[in-house]
Amino acid sequence: ARSTSPRFRPRFRPRFRSRSRSRSRISCDAEDGGDLDDREDRDITMIEERGVSFESGKAFYRAESAVSRDLAVLAARVYKNKTGRLEVLDLMSGSGVRALRYLVQADADRVWSNDWNPTNIPLLQRNLQGGLKKD
């Protein structure tokens, strides 16, 4: 039998209330771009991962997850080759590196991306639009 004493109870304290934050999202089609040159966050760091360059700013980016992103892009590319079409939903994108790699390396037809922090949206848009500029 499991003990129900307080010291064995799992504790979870969220850092924010999900209802108090507005959710922001963007949609980015491979056929449609836009002009988003406003640089609102000044702490911009350029990062290159597996041949894809993007800005990190204050948005979430974890370099240790590159292998996970490699496998996701590989699986997406195999799916695209089998079906001829690839549409991706990337929730809580942070810097948008996964969504960007789907666009560039898996040749996604459409990528939907969002983040819980509305101040990350301009950075996310710039990163995804950088992937739309294919030569």
The secondary structure element, H or E, covering residue 114 is strand 110-115
Q: pTM for the complete prediction?
A: 0.66
Distance CA 95, CA 111 (A): 14
Q: Position of tokens 């800005």?
A: 55
49 has which bridge partners?
52
Whether 127 contacts 54, CB under 8 Å: yes
pLDDT in single tens digits along all 135 residues of the chain: 555 545 544 444 444 333 333 333 444 444 444 444 444 445 678 888 888 888 888 888 888 999 999 999 999 999 999 999 999 999 999 999 999 999 999 999 999 999 999 999 999 999 998 877 654
| Domain architecture of the chain: domains with CATH | 22-132 (3.40.50.150)
The 3-state DSSP class for residue 130 equals helix
